[in-house]
Structure 1
């Protein structure tokens, strides 16, 4: 298993996290991950209404902002929220954002 490049916890910037979460598709991915814990990228992208390459862009944006942890196993990539890291940097932020999402946005 190999980890893709991620910012260190202390390098996660609030502006980048908020920018990443401002997009409805990325917010939906985060909501799905908050429920599932970990998803492979194919499952996370099901029914998002975007092309595979666009979904990959969204995954990379979330990873580079420090919102998700992405690990690769063979040809599959798995994502999970960096909940503890985000809580360390910005206490309550992720829970507040997830609580503010509309109920129909969650699977």
Structure 2
């Protein structure tokens, strides 16, 4: 991956985190492990369609992982990417 692509990927991830609801989802998953999308909606007090919208955006930038079991979609935090993003801000990112 070239340097510009790396900056673009990180910018997309930080942009996703700039939304308060998505930030809450990341914090929720960081403290609680894997959750279904409906559990995320319930715990944040938002509608299921809104939770699906926000989790899709977080999946698209790689901040959370998604798996499907039957009709239920489960999401979990991609801790490795989040750690790399935070490290990049403090200059400790492995290059």
SS, match of residue 92 in structure 1: helix
- Structure index of larger Rg: 2
Q: RCO (CA 8 Å, sep 6+): is it higher in 1 or 2?
A: 1
Across the two proteins, how many residue pairs are aligned to each other?
82
RMSD: 2.0
Report the TM-score, using the length of structure 1 for normalisation.
0.67
Which residue of structure 2 lines up, in the alignment, with residue 31 of structure 1? 27
Report the TM-score, using the length of structure 2 for normalisation.
0.75
- Among 34, 40, 45, which residue is 2:41 paired with? 45
Given the superposition, is the C-alpha separation of residues 25 and 77 from structure 1 closer, same or farther in structure 2, using an over 3 Å criterion? same
Gaps of 5+ in 2: 1-5, 89-95
Gaps of 5+ in 1: 1-9, 94-107
Take 2:81 and 2:52, find their aligned partners in 1: how far apart are those partners? 22
Runs of 4+ in 1 over 6 A off after TM superposition: none
Structure holding more helix per residue: 2
